[in-house]
Amino acid sequence: MVKHIKKQLSDVPITMTCQLLLFFVGTIILLRLSSLLAYMLFPLVVYTMMQKRTEFSFFVLMLLVSLAITNSIFFEKSFHFYMASRVCLFILATAMTFKAGFKKGVWFLSPFYLLIIFIFYMMAVSLAGWCPIVSELKAVLFLVFFLALMQGTGVVAQTGVDIRHIRAGMLAISIFYILGSLAVIPFPGIGRSMIYAKFSESAESLAIINEMSGLFNGVTWHSQCLGPTVALLNAFLLSDYLCNFQKRSRLYMGLLAAVPLLVFLTSSRTAFFAYLISIFSTVFFFMNERRAKASKKSRVLMNLVLCGFLAGVYLIVSPRGFTRLEGFLRKVQETEDMDRQKSFAEDISSSRMEAIERGMVNFRASPLIGNGFQVSEEMSEISLGGSGMLLSAPIEKGVLPVMILEEGGVFGAFFFMAFLVALYSKYRKLQFTCFMSTFTVFIALNSGEAIFFSTSGGGGILWMTCFSALLMDIHRQRRILTEAVPQTAFLLGRYQA
């Protein structure tokens, strides 16, 4: 049993990964043929609901949230697609929740119940907010999606799973977003479609675009979507590689090596800092692993110090490299345009300061209970009749702490902080290194742009990645879990071959 467990943990399921990747790409090709084929997602969801293996439901759920952020060049994001994908997401998440509802809860998922309490609190206070109906619908959608992940994780933990299914799904998504984005670098019409769409097809406009650097969106619809996605995938891949692999994996090393290039091409400072945090947080939590060999810890720490030293030497001896990094952080195309009278802190915070100040003004207007879940003041005057607001209700928020205060007030912030404290204290004790590393990057990304409660947008794939990391930890640490609570000894024996 122990040898089989170790083999699962260190196995790279190439065949299964290729099958899931082909399924993903095949779905995109079908959607490209006709916008009406988006309704073919319904039979897929029905077939998925009939399957007994929860891992397949996880992958289809990941497929649905991934399609929403895929480059619009690949297929038309029409009304039919958004209608079909969001309804299918809701149906599948609801089915997963009800299917898991008959099983006893898993004790080590208890911190997430505090987040559910926070959502119920937000649903209550949103009745007096700016746009109650939009707030309630968004809260229900997030709650169903989150319960599906949480309850599905509990089912997998209790009924057993071949962890290679989870790894294959994550590798398929990683290959698509990381290697797929690398593949479209020579094709700016695809890789930079976001900025191409903002200009006309005139020769002058194309010349301006070609002279510009950065803002690379790869196989996603926006550069601010690609950057955070690959930064979080970096945390998952690195933590999985360090915790579970004893031998080198060329696939993992290739994926990890490609991430910093993509982060640089996106010109996303949020993704850049999240990428750095993904490395340091993964190493930090890995160093606290009691089961890891001391020699491996030493090698990891030495490699980190060496990489940092070489990067520092390069920036010191290469003025051009330092200037390019400064230009990246200040978001200027030409180094001559940099205003060095402003500090780095002023330049970095300037793009978020307006949203932060607006959020704090709204918080002071209703400091105790906030102004409503995932809505803005402008929505209070919008007619919901024919605007499609109930389907999309787009919202742009600033950083996560300000968003929590603005929407939930002081009481909401208390519930949310209680959730974070409980989560980090419990999973740090259980040594859930993969999840802790991934979730820390997720929190860091929300400090740049709040997507914590997004489901069908960029936040959906990030939540899926975090829970996939959690499943890896549950599988890896289940002996510790059974020793902590003997009544859950079934965790040790039901993991299938």
Give the DSSP per-residue string, 470-485.
HHHHHHHTHHHHHHH-
Residue 172: inside a domain: yes
70 φ, ψ to 5°? -75, 150
What's the confidence (pLDDT) of residue 329?
67
Q: Which of 431, 435, 496 is nearest to 462 (CA)?
A: 435
Q: What is the dihedral of CA 431, 434, 436, 441, to 10 degrees?
A: 160
Q: Is residue 313 classed as helix, strand or coil in its secondary structure?
A: helix
The token duo for 413 is 């912030």
Residue 382: inside a domain: no
Below-70 pLDDT ranges, the chain: 1-10, 100-105, 159-162, 198-214, 319-324, 326-351, 381-397, 456-457, 479-497
Which alpha helices (DSSP H) does 288-429 contain, by range? 294-317, 319-330, 344-365, 400-429
From CA 8, how far away is CA 474, in angstroms rounded? 13
What's the confidence (pLDDT) of residue 103?
55
What's the confidence (pLDDT) of residue 29?
93
Q: Is residue 294 classed as helix, strand or coil in its secondary structure?
A: helix
Give 220's strand partners: 70
For residue 417, CA distances in Å to 335, 404, 423 come to 41, 10, 10
Residue 350: inside a domain: yes
* CB contact at 8 A, 229 and 69: yes
Q: Is 134 exposed, middle or buried (0-12, 13-18, 19+ CB in 10 A)?
A: buried
From CA 410, how far away is CA 387, in angstroms rounded? 33
The domain containing residue 95 runs over which residues?
2-377+390-493
What's the confidence (pLDDT) of residue 334?
57
| CA Rg value for the chain | 23
Q: Which of 203, 187, 169, 161 is nearest to 58 (CA)?
A: 169
Positive/negative CA dihedral, 399, 123, 453, 39: negative
The token duo for 434 is 């993969």
- 273: alpha, beta or left, given left = phi > 0 and alpha = psi -120 to 50? alpha
Q: Is 10 exposed, middle or buried (0-12, 13-18, 19+ CB in 10 A)?
A: middle
Cα angle 282, 405, 235; round to 5: 15
Residue 385: inside a domain: no
The token duo for 345 is 């802190």
Q: Which of 412, 385, 390 is nearest to 126 (CA)?
A: 412
Longest dimension (CA), the chain: 71
* CB contact at 8 A, 485 and 446: no
What residues contact 32, with CB distance under 8 A and at least 6 apart? 74, 75, 76
220 φ, ψ to 5°? -100, 175
The token duo for 470 is 């959690």
Q: Which of 234, 310, 300, 236 is nearest to 272 (CA)?
A: 234
Residue 284: inside a domain: yes
* CB contact at 8 A, 434 and 469: yes
- 342: alpha, beta or left, given left = phi > 0 and alpha = psi -120 to 50? beta
Q: Which of 361, 312, 249 is nearest to 17 (CA)?
A: 249
From CA 271, how far away is CA 287, in angstroms rounded? 24
Residue 25: inside a domain: yes
For residue 105, CA distances in Å to 156, 237, 413, 494 come to 11, 28, 26, 17
Residue 384: inside a domain: no
Please provide the DSSP assignment of 3-47 as one string. HHHHHHHT---HHHHHHHHHHHHHHHHHHHH-GGGGGGHHHHHHH
Residue 480: inside a domain: yes
Q: What is the per-residue pLDDT across 277-319, written as a single tens digit (0 to 9) for each? A: 999 999 999 988 877 788 888 888 888 888 888 887 777 777 6
What's the confidence (pLDDT) of residue 27?
94
How many domains in the chain? 1
Amino acid letter, residue 238: L
CA 10 to chain centre: 24
What's the confidence (pLDDT) of residue 335?
56
397 φ, ψ to 5°? -115, 165
For residue 106, CA distances in Å to 73, 112, 290, 483, 489 come to 43, 11, 23, 14, 12
- 77: alpha, beta or left, given left = phi > 0 and alpha = psi -120 to 50? beta
